[in-house]
Chain A
């Protein structure tokens, strides 16, 4: 005859077990039957709890991300749009983007790396930084500022450099998105992060973010410009 403790340990490890000895014990033991029923109720809760909702995604594997060059007329429209957007930026207007946007993905990625935001003046060792940058074929000019964090991160299926540059305004996070071409600069203000994504002709785009809610749009745009200027693209 199986002991209660043995039965309960086994059923706790696998409540749906169909082991013959366990079933036989349950048939003859009302206490263990009640224990199992209670356990199975919890198991049902556990199964439902584990099934967190997952948003559908149409393109789970980004096999092809080539973007055709915009026709001339669309280029003019894009230029006009960027002029208007530029005016909005200067005026300090922030845009809140839908969750599915590139900006939302950048913000979501940032939120996953809280350790990157530490304010420090300790620079990442040069070889480590070069290692992170080399896959994206770039290097930084010496006057770029102290890079206190450098990681090669997976972002939407590609390895991208994720850097934190210490500036007078505080730590600024930079993601070099060579696989993400954008047509015009976009400002965003999401989940406590303020930033911009700017096009880098021929090299995708650059995302620049700060966690300071007092930072202005034009200041972020200026920082993005300085970061862009400090990048040297290598063959």
Chain B
């Protein structure tokens, strides 16, 4: 009986933890995949995996990066499994139009469209930094890159985004 109560309590706690982290994790998965339905599936599957492997989470305050790593791996697995062919970005944008245009301001929609068109190698570190609050060193660790490589990607990401959004990039440093 005590075991059962303990199990329920554990589940409730884990459920609450996932609930609180879900919005940001889903946003991360969305920007990774650029596909809302796929992001939902990846996050759901990752949370189930996390539940089964929860003993490996020693510190609950580290749950967010821990789950984020699981999501990245799950996304990579999904990608391998489905053997996606080349992605038509315009098709992706058209499909996600309701989400992209949900913002009231046109300038936010423009940034979202530019984000959709950004290559994954630039998009992922940028999302980790801006949305997830990762430091450059943490991004380097997560993506298994050197710190200078991460800085270069972040720099290029912002340069491309700003140019796509019609910002004045004349003062940007040359490569």
Give the B-binding residues of A (Cβ under 8 A). 4-6, 8-10, 12-15, 31, 35, 38-39, 42-43, 45-54, 57, 59-61, 63, 108-109, 111-115, 151-157
Contacts and interface: CB of A to CB of B under 8 A. Distances in A.
Interface residues of B, number: 60
B23 to A, nearest CB: 4
A85 to B, nearest CB: 27
Interface of B: 11, 14-15, 18-19, 22-23, 26-27, 30-31, 35-38, 40-42, 44-45, 47-48, 51, 78, 81-82, 84-85, 91, 95, 99-100, 102-103, 107-108, 111-112, 115, 127, 129-131, 136, 150-152, 154-155, 158-159, 161-162, 165, 167-168, 171-174
B155 A49 contact: no
A46 B127 CA distance: 10
Contacts of B150: 13
Contacts of B19: 57, 60
A46 B82 contact: no
B159 A153 contact: no
B155 A9 contact: yes
Contact of B36 (A8, A15, A108): A108
Contact of B130 (A46, A59, A113): A46
B173 A152 contact: no
17 contacts: A8-B171, A8-B172, A12-B159, A13-B136, A13-B154, A38-B167, A52-B30, A54-B22, A60-B15, A60-B19, A60-B47, A61-B15, A63-B51, A108-B37, A112-B36, A112-B37, A154-B45
A180 B160 CA distance: 45
Contacts of A38: 167-168, 171
A5 B174 contact: yes
Nearest to A49: B111
Given A14-B136, A151-B81, A57 B22 contact: yes
A53 B103 CA distance: 9
Given A46-B111, A49-B112, A5 B151 contact: no
Closest 5 CB pairs of A and B: A49-B111, A112-B37, A13-B154, A5-B173, A154-B45
Nearest to B16: A60
